[in-house]
């Protein structure tokens, strides 16, 4: 029994270490560049859009390689600030579940969108607070 417990404990330790390793800035150039955004992603987005940025097929759209995201950065900032409640086609797949608002400030929305624009090999450029200051916060 003691052996089994030790084994289980080491498996848990290995598991946690590899998760920490996989998300450490050293492995993720986007997290090194946008650390605040990476933190917000890990806290608020990962449950639906996943560590891989691939989402969940037919439920939560991908952010990795998303044609929809790349088409309009400002719209993405608005979606995390105010939520999104419309049917959309992402990489040829239709999604229409609502996304509740995710962040409280324009600055946090810009941080996390700059992260996702560049995570997982995305090459989506960046957006500034100045670009989005006219977005009205709707709650
Ligand atoms: C509860 C699950 C959930 C969480 C948490 C969530 N999203 Fe979403 N997200 C969705 C769904 C569902 C849609 C599709 C919304 C629609 O159809 O209006 C979506 C759409 C998007 C889109 C536009 C579509 C695309 O794939 O390019 C972006 C960008 C986005 N989310 C970013 C984020 C970011 C950044 C966070 C964290 C700050 C986040 N989401 C947190 C569920 C979620």
pLDDT at 20 over 90: no
| pLDDT surpassing 80 at residue 46 | yes
List the residue whose alpha carbon is closest to atom 29 of ligand 1. 76
Is the per-residue pLDDT at 47 higher than 60?
A: yes
User: Residue 46 and residue 70: Cα distance in Å, rounded?
Assistant: 19
Q: Which of the listed residues 61, 107, 119, 132 should we mutate to test ligand 1's pocket, taking the one with most ligand atoms within 8 A of CB?
A: 61
Q: The tokens of 60 are what?
A: 């939560």
Of residues 15 and 73, more confidence is placed in 73
- Compute the C-alpha angle 18/39/73, nearest 5°: 120
Q: Which residue has the higher pLDDT, 92 or 23?
A: 92
Q: Could you tell me how far CA 46 lies from the centroid of its own chain?
A: 6
Burial of 90 (0-12, 13-18, 19+ CB in 10 A): middle
Query: Of 63, 45, 40, which is closest to residue 100 (Cα–Cα)?
Result: 45
Average pLDDT over residues 126-130: 98
Cβ(36)–Cβ(65) under 8 Å? no
User: Which residue's C-alpha comes closest to atom 36 of ligand 1?
Assistant: 45
């Amino acid at each position: 029994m003691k052996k089994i417990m030790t084994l289980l404990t080491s498996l848990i330790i290995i598991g946690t270490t590899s998760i920490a390793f996989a998300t450490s800035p050293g492995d993720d150039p986007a997290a090194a560049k946008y650390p605040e955004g990476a933190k917000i992603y890990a806290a608020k987005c990962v449950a639906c859009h996943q560590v891989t940025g691939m989402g969940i097929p037919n439920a939560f759209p991908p952010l990795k390689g998303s044609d929809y995201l790349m088409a309009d950065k400002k719209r993405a900032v608005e979606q995390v600030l105010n939520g999104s409640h419309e049917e959309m086609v992402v990489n040829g797949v239709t999604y229409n579940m609502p996304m509740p608002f995710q962040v409280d400030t324009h600055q946090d929305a810009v941080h996390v969108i700059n992260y996702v624009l560049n995570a997982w090999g995305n090459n989506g450029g960046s957006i500034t607070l100045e670009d989005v200051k006219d977005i009205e916060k709707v709650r």
